[in-house]
Every structure is written in structure tokens, then in C-alpha cells.
Amino acid sequence: MTDDDTDTRDDLAARRGLERDVYQPAEDSRLLAEAAVEHARGRTLEVGTGSGWVAEQIANQTEATVVASDYNPAACREARARGVPAVRADLVAPFRAESFDTVAFNPPYLPTDPDNEWDDSMERALSGGESGRAVIDPFLDTVGRILTADGAVLLLVSSLTGFDTVVARAESNGFAVSTVRQESYPFETLSILRLE
């Protein structure tokens, strides 16, 4: 890695208001937290919890029993420091079938040219691959397994990832899709989809 690459990565992290090891709350986190506080019930999982802030909001403002997961062990430690039980997991792989009433996820969704990717935990938290859906697609293909019969998913989607494509993928996995929150910014529109 050259000094220019390090400067660019540091600049990008600074612009996003992020530390280098764990994704910190931003406008997407707030939007997901608001939707989750309104819709979460029963046993709730936040996938890709990052700092644990969203899971903490759900735990503090609802009657839901909250568990968090993240691939990054530093994120799991940070979530636990907030009082949120957290386990290291790749999406929903380790969880039992039909074990959650609600699943919330703010996925890595920024479309990223493979030549510009860095091999670190912050890149994993942000990069959605070339399409922005490298993590969203496998999540949609597997999350139904861990939902109870009347369970729901709250998924944050950016217009940068192809909103209609994400909706079509969810529907092809048997979900009915509705939009429960949406905010526009100069560079993207963020939506929270409820999948049932």
C-alpha cells in the first residue's frame, strides 16, 4: 500500500466520521433505529451491528429481546460494551431456524470498484462490491430461514445499490415488501424496507 492509498483511506474515513476499526452511527444508522424502534418485537437480531448503537436503541426503547452480530470481532466487543449481547457471525449462518421475530440490517452498500478496495474491517463494513449488493443478495437468500412464521426483516437500502433490484430479489425469496421509512440526501436516497 502506498502513502497515497493510506492518505485516501484516512481522508475517506474522516469524511464519513468513522474510526478505522468499527462502523459508527451515521444517518443510515439513525434511520434504521427509528424504523426498528417502531417495528421490532419479540426476539430481535441486528445483523452487522457495528458499534451496537442501533441494537442499543432497540433494547432501550422497545420490549424486544435484542441480540447483535457482526463479522468484525472489534464491533462485537463494542456492542457488548453498550450492554448488547453480540456474537461474531457471517450474516445469519450460526442462528437456528425460526429463532427471530425481527431482523434488522444496515448492510455494506457502497458500490466499490475492486481496484479501490482495501483489505480491512472498515472496508468490509462499507463496501457492497461493484453492484453494492454483494452482501445484500446473500442476506436476502438466507434470512428467511431464521425468521418465525410471522417474522419481519427491516433492511436499509440505498438508491446507489439499485432499489428495484433489491426489491425484486426480496420478492423472489418469497417476501412481501413495503417501504416504512425514506430520506433523500444530495447523493442518495435511503429507504428502510419491511420484508414479511
pLDDT of residue 8: 45
Between strands 65-70 and 86-88, the pairing is: parallel
Joined grid coordinates for residue 167: 426489491
Q: What is the pLDDT of residue 113?
A: 64
φ/ψ of 167, rounded to 5, equals -60, -45
Q: What is the CATH number of the domain that holds 117?
A: 3.40.50.150
pTM: 0.85
What pLDDT was estimated at residue 119?
58
- What is the structure's pLDDT at 23? 72
What pLDDT is attached to residue 187? 87
DSSP annotation string for 29-93:
HHHHHHHHHHH--SEEEEES-TTSHHHHHHHHHSS-EEEEEES-HHHHHHHHHTT--EEE-STTT
Number of domains in the chain: 1
Query: Is-contact 50 122, C-beta < 8 A?
Result: no
User: What stretches in the chain show pLDDT beneath 50?
Assistant: 1-13, 15-19, 120
User: 25 is in which domain, residue-wise?
Assistant: 3-195
